[in-house]
Amino acid sequence: MTFVMSLFLICLIVGLVAVASNPSPYFAALGLVVVSGMGCGVLVGHGGSFLPLVLFLIYLGGMLVVFAYCSALAAEPYPESWGSRAVAVYMASYVVLVVVMAGLFWGGWYESSWVTVEELEEFSVFRGDVEGVALMYSFGGGMLVISAWVLLLTLLVVLELTRGLSRGALRVV
């Protein structure tokens, strides 16, 4: 189980590096899907089953809309891939940054074992993710408004970041 969780976490870091290097909206969207899948895998490894599934499905639906919108606005004739020189430099610098930060914060993480949600409570009636879903629905009104605002703001930021120097499909001809 430790090997699987380590594999999920390493793939999560690789996906985050792929998103941060941001070669083009097409490849960045693929990196976000990898990050979403690996993050949900980490949550499943810690004992949740329902919430990661819902998160993955909702996130992939939102990513499909954002990907279609970004690819319509940022129509590049020759998108940069992860193999180009500039993107490889960004990816290498991000990997070096991750290794340096891991070296700084390395001590002490291995002293406690990874346990699931059910192992933390001896006489728990409900599973951990079911309690989280009930809490999400009981105080969900304000959080729904905040989440909608954050998603709108994230959409605008993603569109501004992927636009780059050109205006994409909306430029003046």
Residues of the chain with pLDDT under 50: 173
Q: So what's the pLDDT on residue 165? A: 59
77 to 24, 61, 72, 133, 166: CA distances (angstroms) = 11, 26, 12, 44, 12
**Predicted local confidence at residue 103, as pLDDT:** 85
Contact by Cβ (8 Å): 94, 21: yes
Please check whether residue 130 is in contact with residue 51, taking contact to mean a CB–CB distance below 8 angstroms: no
pLDDT at 125: 61
Q: With contact defined as beta carbons under 8 Å apart, do 69 and 152 qualify? A: no
Calculate helix-pair angle for 140-163, 50-73, nearest 10 degrees.
40
Number of helices followed by number of strands (H, E) in the chain: 6, 0
Q: What is the pLDDT of residues 89-102, one digit of tens each?
A: 888 999 999 999 88
10 Å Cβ neighbour count for 93? 13
> Is 0.85 surpassed by the pTM of this model?
no
Q: Taken in order 89, 74, 27, 49, is the CA torsion positive or negative?
A: positive
For 133, the token pair is: 């879903």
Q: What is the pLDDT of residue 124?
A: 60
User: 2-105+115-170 has which fold?
Assistant: Four Helix Bundle (Hemerythrin (Met), subunit A) (1.20.120)
| Domain ranges (residues) in the chain | 2-105+115-170
The pLDDT value recorded for residue 104 is: 85
